[in-house]
Structure 1
Amino acid sequence: MLTCFAPDLQPTLATYTLSEEESKHAVRVLRLRPDAPVVLVDGHGTVATAFIADDNPKRCTLTITGRETIAPRPTYTHVAVAPTKNLDRMEWLVEKAVEVGIERLSFLRCARSERRDLKLERLEKIAVSALKQSGQAYLPQLDELIDFDKFLASLDPATTFIAHLEAGERTALAQVIGAAPRCCVLIGPEGDFSPSEIELALGRGVRPVTLGSSRLRTETAALAAVFTAQVVRELKS
């Protein structure tokens, strides 16, 4: 059954008109006709069932037959990553992180960053597509690119972890993530965080962690952090 994104879905609506993009996909691409069933999701926990009433390819109208509110997960996973020079790899990360389950994804401008600017429009569309494909009810928050030191100042160090490759004592993320219902994991650029950035984070009480013995690419490390957080918490629930 087709799932459509309906960000302005209201609890009292009996009908809903899809955006032009969603209408085109439903009517022209999938060739759905009146009475075809559709699922609507608003990205804030509401999921509605509906059927097509008017198959206008620019303003497809649906009749809503039922709705439910999905409770948010009891845990909150936040990953902050320095985007790679190749934007395709960040697009892959957004898609997979949404599928696995993440509440917030931030982008960091670090000393060794290869990418100094980032436009979210394309990434937001990929997040919506992954939301619909995976059956998730909540659309993650995507943050604009921000300098590492400014971002660090906004965090609670008690629930923040930094995954770096420098020498020193580090704990496996899987060993500490289960005790933190809310967490933020910091992932550096391809060249890793600079020594001064690591020192700044540790000085503020952020705990150093490792994601395993392999040297992971930036986007792989970020996804590994999301996956580890979800799996460990599910095992503990």
Structure 2
Amino acid sequence: MQLFYNPNINDKNDIFNFDKDETRHIVKVLRKKVGDTIQITNGEGWLFKGELIEIGNKQSSIKIINKSFHEPKPYKLHLAVAPTKMNDRYEWFLEKATEIGIQSITPIICDNSERKVIKRDRFEKIIQSAMKQSLQYYLPKLNETTPFNKFVTETDVKQKFIAHCEETDKESFKTILKGNQDCLILIGPEGDFSVKEIQEALQNNFIPVTLGNTRLRTETAAVVACHTVALVNESI
């Protein structure tokens, strides 16, 4: 199944037009012809099945023959992850987290962050591609890059966790996590969160957790956290 993403399609459409770039992909890459079917999502839970009725040089058109709405998961997972020094590591996290299932991502800038600027357009494309590849109908939201101290004081979620490497008392994430409830996890940069940031998170009711017995890279920790949330919720 080849899944397209277009935020402009909705359940009111009977006919939908693809632009020049999408038309080129449909014709040149997928070799689609008039009469063939195409699956599209708008990233908001809708799946549309359309029949190609016209192919031109600058656009192509489909007639919607079936539409269905898929309910969202009973919980929302929000990961706040510091950008990694190497962009490709963060891109790997974005791809895998989207495939596993995540609703919201916020790049946070910390005291030990070596990278403070992200390639937002590229990150968005990676998330969209991963959503389509994994046949999901909800597009994760990539939030604006936010300073750590601003982020921790403005979040309002019951389940709030911080995964850090300091040798202090920490709960096992997979043990303390409650299913079917919204969840927010903080993952720090390569140099970990500073002691000041950890204390600030605790003062704002974040629970310190461990993701396992080994020290993980930033992007690995984020994927492990995401997968743990998925497993806990699937076991309910």
Match of 2:35 in 1: 35
Displacement of 1:192 after TM fit?
A: 0.3
Kindly tell me: are residues 196 and 178 of structure 1, through their superposed partners in 2, closer, same or farther at Cα, counting changes over 3 Å? same
Provide the rounded CA distance (Å) in 2 between the counterparts of 1:11 and 1:157: 32
Contact 1:105–1:140, Cα closer than 8 Å, also in 2: yes
Pair 1:137–1:213, CA change in 2 (3 A): same
Find out whether 1:44 has 2:44 as its counterpart: yes
Structure 1 distance, partners of 2:26, 2:168, is 54
DSSP 3-state at the match of 1:26: helix
1:122 and 2:118 equivalent? no
Q: Deviations over 1:102-152 (max 9, x none)?
A: 000110000000101113111111111111111111001101211000011
Structure 1 partner of 2:60:
60
Question: Do 1:36 and 1:52's aligned partners in 2 also have CA atoms closer than 8 Å?
Answer: yes
Q: State the alpha-carbon separation in 2 of the partners of residues 78 and 211 from structure 1.
A: 16
Describe the superposition over 1:1-29 as per-residue Cα deviations: whole angstroms up to 9, x where unpaired: 32111211121211111233322211111
1:149-197 deviations in whole A, cap 9, x for unaligned?
Answer: 0011111263210000001111111012225610100000001000000
What is the TM-score normalised by the length of structure 1?
Answer: 0.96
Give the Cα separation in 2 of the matches to 1:57 and 1:26: 12
- Taking structure 1 as reference, are residues 57 and 27 closer, same or farther at Cα in structure 2, changes over 3 Å only? farther
Instruction: Out of 5-14 and 79-88, give the one that drifted further.
Output: 5-14
Q: Which aligned runs of 4 or more in structure 1 are off by greater than 6 angstroms?
A: none
Q: Structure 1: any 5+ residue segments left out of the alignment? A: none
Alignment of 1:141-220 (within 5 A): 141-156=141-156, 158-179=158-179, 181-220=181-220
Q: Please say which of residues 165-174 and 49-58 is displaced more in the overlay.
A: 49-58
How many Å separate the matches in 2 of 1:107 and 1:67? 34
**Letter of the 2:42 counterpart:** D
Q: In the aligned structure 2, how far is the partner of 1:98 from the partner of 1:171? A: 26
Show CA shifts across 1:27-75 (max 9, x none): 1112111111110100001101112112235312111101011100001
- Decide which moves more: 144-153 or 13-22: 13-22
* TM-score, scaled relative to structure 2: 0.96
Query: For this pair of structures, how many residues does the alignment match?
Result: 236
* Aligned-pair Cα RMSD in Å: 1.3
Counterpart CA distance in 2 for 1:179 and 1:11 is 31
Task: Report the identity percentage.
Answer: 39
Give the aligned residue type for 1:113.
S
Unaligned runs of 5+ in 2: none
Q: 1:24 to 1:162 in 2, by over 3 A?
A: same
Larger displacement relative to structure 2 (2-11 or 171-180): 171-180
